[in-house]
Amino acid sequence: MSDQKLATNALHAGHDTTQTGGTRAVPIYQTSSYVFNNTEHAANLFSLAELGFIYTRLNNPTNQILQDRLAAVEGGVGAVVFSSGAAAISTGLLTLLKSGDHIVASSSLYGGTFNLLNVTLPRLGIHTTFVDASNPENFGKAVKENTRAIFVESLGNPKLDVLDLKAISKEAKAAGVPFIVDNTVATPVLLNPIEHGANLVIHSLTKYIGGQGTSLGGAIIDAGTFDWANGKFPEFTEPSAGYHGLVYHKALGAAAFTFKLILEGLRDFGGALSPFNAFQIIQGLETLPVRIKQHSANALELAEWLQSRDEVAWVKYPGLKGDEYYNLAQEYLPKGQSGLVTFGIKGGFEAAKNVTDATKIFSLLANIGDTKSLIIHPASTTHQQLTEEQQLSAGVGKDLIRLSVGLEDINDLKADLEQAFAAANIKA
Ligand SMILES: *Cc1c(COP(=O)(O)O)cnc(C)c1O
């Protein structure tokens, strides 16, 4: 997608001002429910003979504008929003899969997603094989007869591995299963996974898209490209017991999964986004194209500065020349590599904790993608629950510090880390 088109879509897509009383801003429709014209109208809405609003757990006009805008910026046929990124992932997988199904996933995933796949879904009979994503063929090799999805992050958090999406999408296509890409860290401005073969794109809207650290939200964008009639997904080609005999594939075509997410996923699991949060996230999405470029520029400059420091053992940022993922980043993220930087501090676990405790501008907290700079020591926090081996395959060493580089003056950020190294008494 051209930069111009993307910036325009981020500001306008989905909002017809003639339908909202001329309001230039997208209004917040803070209502749980909608008045039907009469019982026949209500019956038509429930049977999908007519499309319209029924109840905010299923949809809401503010949320619908956000959904249409996200579909436009990612290049999908539809999108559904959820109360958080985790709700998007769990509802998406539970709408798609059943007991006995199998997932192949990258081993470098967001900690919460790793736990969902590794501990919680197995309780429901859905098992995952984790593979080293640096070799795309590993995905195909792990596919079994009951595999029903391949799941990755385009830019892994916190390993900062850039995946060869085109090559992995070929493995998914050969296996006849949907290729699901969590694009939270890269954002739709820097990377559109659908252009590289993704069938479903996931976002935690809490991060760069919302961008201000105020509101949780999540989304699934449906490319509309997956062939649900390939024989592996009878839930789409046979009458649905959960929605009075609806045959999703026949009735809804390319939008089959989008509707299943609403009619069954949101109806039954209930992880709907509050319209107030949708409004906040829309404000963020409108300025995402300019913000993410500055996050990327600040992150690159800070990564280069860290490389020059004697207290620092190593630095990872996919935009750094010499980084393991530099070439893939040039291919998949040529406009910028987003705002996350990780580095190892000399002195290991304790030194990393001490530096994290000593920063003043960087806030110690468990989030990314805020306009304000953030810092965390994953081995003692977000990835604490993992075994040492799992920590290493997720790219989390004991000395690793993760920065989410914000929009402050870059010299103030360098000075803050410099004083933290001194306060923590890091020996070069
Ligand atoms: C934060 C995050 C999530 C979970 O999103 P929440 O909005 O916190 O529920 C999922 N994937 C990635 C890559 C994330 O960074």
Residue type at 206? Answer: T
Residues 362 and 229 placed together within one structural domain of the fold: no
In a domain, 282, yes or no: no
In a domain, 129, yes or no: yes
Kindly report, residue by residue over 243-283, the tens digit of the pLDDT.
889 999 999 999 999 999 999 999 999 999 999 999 999 99
Residue that finishes a domain, picked among 276, 306, 331: 276
Residues 266 and 153 placed together within one structural domain of the fold: yes
Which of the four pLDDT bands, split at 50, 70 and 90, describes residue 73? very high
Atom 2 of ligand 1 has which residue's CA nearest to it? Answer: 204
Residues ≥6 apart with Cβ < 8 Å to 415: none
Residues 254 and 343 placed together within one structural domain of the fold: no
The length of the chain in residues reads: 428
CA of 281 to the centre of ligand 1 (A): 14
**Does the pLDDT at position 386 exceed 90?**
no
Mean pLDDT of 212-234: 97
CA of 273 to the centre of ligand 1 (A): 15
Using alpha carbons only, give the angle 130, 135, 138 rounded to the nearest 5 degrees.
Answer: 45
In a domain, 428, yes or no: no
Report the CATH number at residue 127: 3.40.640.10
pLDDT at 1: 67
Which of the four pLDDT bands, split at 50, 70 and 90, describes residue 4? confident
CA of 246 to the centre of ligand 1 (A): 32
Residues 375 and 241 placed together within one structural domain of the fold: no
Mean pLDDT of 106-135: 96
What 3-state DSSP class applies to 213? Answer: coil
Residues 296 and 383 placed together within one structural domain of the fold: yes
In a domain, 307, yes or no: yes
Distance CA 142, CA 123 (A): 21
Distance CA 207, CA 219 (A): 12
pLDDT at 325: 98
| Percentage of the chain modeled with pLDDT above 70 | 100
Per-residue tokens: 149:
């999805």
Q: In Å, how far are 154, 168, 257, 338, 424 from 106, measured between CA atoms?
A: 10, 10, 23, 20, 35
Report the CATH number at residue 386: 3.90.1150.10
Q: Which ligand 1 atom sits closest to the C-alpha of 368?
A: 15
Atom 7 of ligand 1 has which residue's CA nearest to it? Answer: 85
CA of 277 to the centre of ligand 1 (A): 16
Residues 343 and 246 placed together within one structural domain of the fold: no
Q: Point out which residues pair with 182 in neighbouring strands.
A: 153, 202
Distance CA 113, CA 106 (A): 11
Distance CA 174, CA 176 (A): 6
CA of 220 to the centre of ligand 1 (A): 12
**Does the pLDDT at position 390 exceed 90?**
no
In a domain, 284, yes or no: no
Q: Which ligand 1 atom sits closest to the C-alpha of 156?
A: 13
Sheet holding 102-106, edge to edge: 78-82, 218-222, 200-204, 179-182, 147-153, 102-106, 127-131
- Give the closest residue to 263 by CA, choosing from 276, 289, 244: 244
Please tell me the total count of domains within the chain: 2
Mean pLDDT of 44-62: 95
Element (H, E) at 138: helix 137-142
Q: Which ligand 1 atom sits closest to the C-alpha of 184?
A: 13
More confident residue, 319 or 158: 319
pLDDT averaged over the chain?
96
Distance CA 208, CA 203 (A): 10
In a domain, 281, yes or no: no
Largest CA distance in the chain: 76
Residues 259 and 304 placed together within one structural domain of the fold: no
Candidate of 120, 207, 382 to mutate for ligand 1, largest count of ligand atoms within 8 Å of Cβ: 207
CA of 337 to the centre of ligand 1 (A): 18
Q: Which residue stretches of 23-133 are H helix? A: 39-47, 61-74, 85-96, 111-115, 121-123
Which of the four pLDDT bands, split at 50, 70 and 90, describes residue 388? confident
Give the E-state strand segments of 121-195 in sequence order: 127-131, 147-153, 179-182
- Give the closest residue to 168 by CA, choosing from 108, 79, 91: 108
Residues 114 and 168 placed together within one structural domain of the fold: yes
Candidate of 206, 215, 404 to mutate for ligand 1, largest count of ligand atoms within 8 Å of Cβ: 206
Residues ≥6 apart with Cβ < 8 Å to 74: 183, 188, 192, 193, 194, 201, 221
Residues 258 and 299 placed together within one structural domain of the fold: no
Q: Point out which residues pair with 364 in neighbouring strands.
A: 375
Cβ < 6 Å from ligand 1: which residues? 84-86, 110, 112-113, 153, 157, 182, 184-185, 204, 206-207, 216, 218, 368
Candidate of 83, 204, 381 to mutate for ligand 1, largest count of ligand atoms within 8 Å of Cβ: 204
Atom 1 of ligand 1 has which residue's CA nearest to it? Answer: 204
Residues 34 and 150 placed together within one structural domain of the fold: yes
In a domain, 1, yes or no: no
CA of 39 to the centre of ligand 1 (A): 41
- Give the closest residue to 98 by CA, choosing from 199, 192, 222, 236: 236
The DSSP bridge pattern shows strands 340-345 and 312-316 to be: antiparallel
pLDDT at 383: 83
Could you list the residue range(s) of the whole structural domain that residue 73 is in?
6-276
Residue that finishes a domain, picked among 276, 305, 320: 276
Kindly report, residue by residue over 291-325, the tens digit of the pLDDT.
999 999 999 999 999 999 999 999 999 999 999 99
Residues 178 and 265 placed together within one structural domain of the fold: yes
**Does the pLDDT at position 384 exceed 90?**
no
In a domain, 138, yes or no: yes
Residue that finishes a domain, picked among 213, 244, 276: 276
Distance CA 236, CA 118 (A): 27
pLDDT at 389: 85
CA of 186 to the centre of ligand 1 (A): 12
Per-residue tokens: 198:
């993704």
pTM of the model: 0.97
Atom 4 of ligand 1 has which residue's CA nearest to it? Answer: 85
Residues 29 and 168 placed together within one structural domain of the fold: yes
